[in-house]
Amino acid sequence: MAWYVPLNVEIPIRTSRDTCSGVHTSANAGMALTRVVHVCRTCDRNAPPATTAAQAGTALATTLRGLLATTPGADWDVREVACLNGCLKPCNVAFRGPDRYSYRFSRVTPADLPQILAFGDCYWRAATGEVAEEKIPEALRAKLSVRTPPRGHW
């Protein structure tokens, strides 16, 4: 069973020189829709029910939206999804798009969000979404729980 959420949108790629991998991405010019990051809203569903606080995943999504609102040029859409299949290691954040590599990070905390932004910048700049391991922020490397190539690249 796939953990990803199907998207019916094209993902924009910047047309400038890619500072994350050194690859020029002009072949993707003209694609223009929202960049999406998925956050599991049910994380941590195994925790005792909270009466006044939001689920940890929902709280993480809210914090990410606040950070994006104050980050120039960060035009991402934060989508809360029911599950990213990382229940044993909450909270989970995923990047994916049509014909792109997919990444899921687990055990993400609000302290990791600046690194999530740095990773996302590299991800959206790369033509296929492939980010070299050395370009993944060091604090996130141990939290990378899934990396899946696009269909036809395996």
Asked if residue 4 is part of any domain, the answer here is no
Burial class (CB in 10 A: 0-12, 13-18, 19+), 129: buried
Asked if residue 57 is part of any domain, the answer here is yes
Position 116 confidence tier, pLDDT thresholds 50, 70, 90 = very high
Asked if residue 9 is part of any domain, the answer here is no
Asked if residue 100 is part of any domain, the answer here is yes
CATH number for position 96: 3.40.30.10
pLDDT tens profile 49-89: 654 446 888 999 999 999 999 988 778 899 999 889 888 88
Asked if residue 18 is part of any domain, the answer here is no
Question: What is the value of pTM for the model shown?
Answer: 0.75
Strands 93-95, 102-105: pairing is antiparallel
- pLDDT for residue 113 is more than 90: yes
* Number of domains comprising the chain: 1
Asked if residue 132 is part of any domain, the answer here is yes
What secondary structure letter does DSSP report for 84?
-
Cα–Cα distance between 129 and 25 in angstroms, integer?
Answer: 11
Q: What is the mean pLDDT of residues 9-31?
A: 41
Cα–Cα distance between 52 and 70 in angstroms, integer?
Answer: 27
Asked if residue 101 is part of any domain, the answer here is yes
Q: What is the domain extent for residue 142?
A: 26-148
Asked if residue 66 is part of any domain, the answer here is yes
Report the percent of the chain where pLDDT is more than 90.
Answer: 50
- Phi then psi for residue 148, to 5 deg, are -125, 130
What pLDDT does residue 48 have? 66
